[in-house]
Structure 1
Amino acid sequence: MSATAERAIAPSTTPATAPDTARAGVADPGPLGLAAFALTTMLLSLANAGIVTEAGATAVAMALFCGGLTQFAAGLWEFARGNTFGATAFTSYGAFWLAFWWLRTAPGLAEDAGSAGVGFFLLAWTIFTSLMTVAAAKTNGATLTVFVLLTLTFVALSIGDLAGAAGATQAGGWLGLATAAVALYTAWAGVTNATWKRDVLPVWPRG
């Protein structure tokens, strides 16, 4: 896989829960999915930003087990809870990370795709994330911020691969770190507020 392609994929891709429509006995999977997304995104973004290039290798393992399988499972639980937004977001970005893992590990696949193939892969996710951002406007301020930052991250990374612009990829890495930070805060707020059974950490509810 080209160096550009290796640096070019960070989303992720992060989802959050809509207003609580939980069924009895099913805990909120949102914090789990957000944490899985945030940690995987953080590692790859460290490499994209040029801060710790070795983190890109560890992000591949995280992409399979954490960003991929864990987040996909969180999406299935959201389906059980009747949360269309959370289910669509978590399963989609879980699938994104699984696709990234396959792109990095399948023999010859990255070379066949090249920078153009990876760039259009990222562009497709840019479009999807932009649409999800519109829906996120009806969740809460923290979730909306995650999706706005994620959209900007995908835009920068798409430009990085399609135009061969290393500076855009590096900017995408910094935006990815910001996305991961807000997603991790949102996950922390979800766990803390549920455990304390009151709003300890704000997520800024919206209409």
Structure 2
Amino acid sequence: MADLEKGTTTTTTSGVDHRPYADNGSAAYRNSPTTPVRTNIGNPGTLGLFSFASTTLILSLYNTSARGVNTPNVVVGMALFCGGLVQLLAGMWEFAKGNTFGATAFSSYGAFWLSYATILIPGSGISDAFTDVPSQEPNAIGIFLMTWMTVTFLLFIASLRKNIGFIALFFFLTFTFMCLGAGNFVVASAPNASAGLIKAGGALGIITALIAYYVGLSELLASERAAVVGLPIGVFKHD
């Protein structure tokens, strides 16, 4: 994260100190030069990253047919509450901390998991709408996934100013969505030919989840004063 978003910037280009004073008279840094938000708010990054990683790992294992599982519906509960609700809450707290990048990413993927879970819920009626023309459903899901590939690529561009951990995370996630989206397009015309792309997307998703776990653990250790070790994620220094 940039120094401004981490709350470590004390001056603006005009040289004005943007540190408001707490009630006890001690300096409390703002997360943004325009909002009086103090850094005593806990870092929601680990919560969001762990939730994203866990849900992504489960679905990715299903996509690789781990233990012979090909039907992903068990992920619905995780997608609703862990990947969806918890990430959305983490995103809201990132807004409170003045971290626009984290807020946008967590809130967006929280919405992704909530919407993806809705597609898989039989009672939603979404799948039933394609009963007359079954080939439309995988095409529709392919468009859905390719749209999220676009969102992820834009976040990847923004991550180039953050750290190596985020760059790797969004790089692999972009290709995960691409493979899964392409796999669904293939399903519409040749169902048996899609297995390779879906499994490739699953494998890339597993890598993405492991990177998210690593970055999340790095942030968790960084927030603990008594942490024995820290995990480097290649943070870029901004002047």
| TM-score, structure 2 normalization | 0.75
Question: Cα RMSD (Å) of the superposition?
Answer: 1.7
Share of identical aligned residues, percent? 40
What is residue 202 of structure 1 aligned with on the other side? 232
Moved runs in structure 1, 4+ residues, more than 3 A? 196-199
Highest RCO, 1 vs 2 (Cα 8 Å, sep ≥ 6): 1
Alpha-carbon spacing, 1:35–1:173, altered in 2? closer, same or farther (3 Å): same
Separation (CA, whole Å) in 1 of partners of 2:180 and 2:51: 21
Correspondence for 1:143 among 135, 141, 166: 166
Correspondence for 2:87 among 71, 75, 83: 71
Correspondence for 2:125 among 108, 131, 144: 108
Correspondence for 1:131 among 119, 132, 154: 154
Paired AA for residue 74 in structure 1: A
> What whole-Å deviation, never above 9, does each CA across 1:61-88 have from its counterpart, x for those lacking one?
1001100000000000000011110010
For structure 2, list consecutive stretches of 5 or more residues without a partner in the other structure. Answer: 8-30, 32-37, 131-136, 188-193
Separation (CA, whole Å) in 1 of partners of 2:225 and 2:90: 22
Larger Rg: 2
Alpha-carbon spacing, 1:140–1:55, altered in 2? closer, same or farther (3 Å): farther
Separation (CA, whole Å) in 1 of partners of 2:77 and 2:178: 24
Q: Is 1:47 equivalent to 2:62 in the alignment?
A: yes
What is residue 92 of structure 1 aligned with on the other side? 108
Separation (CA, whole Å) in 2 of partners of 1:45 and 1:112: 26
Paired AA for residue 101 in structure 2: F
For structure 1, list consecutive stretches of 5 or more residues without a partner in the other structure. Answer: 1-16
Q: Displacement of 1:108 after TM fit?
A: 2.7
What is residue 122 of structure 1 aligned with on the other side? 145
Paired AA for residue 174 in structure 1: A
Separation (CA, whole Å) in 2 of partners of 1:153 and 1:18: 27
Separation (CA, whole Å) in 2 of partners of 1:160 and 1:122: 10
Correspondence for 1:158 among 178, 181, 187: 181
> Conserved in 2, the CA contact under 8 Å of 1:78 and 1:84?
yes
Paired AA for residue 141 in structure 1: I
Alpha-carbon spacing, 1:76–1:178, altered in 2? closer, same or farther (3 Å): same
> Conserved in 2, the CA contact under 8 Å of 1:132 and 1:147?
yes
SS of aligned partner of 1:204: coil
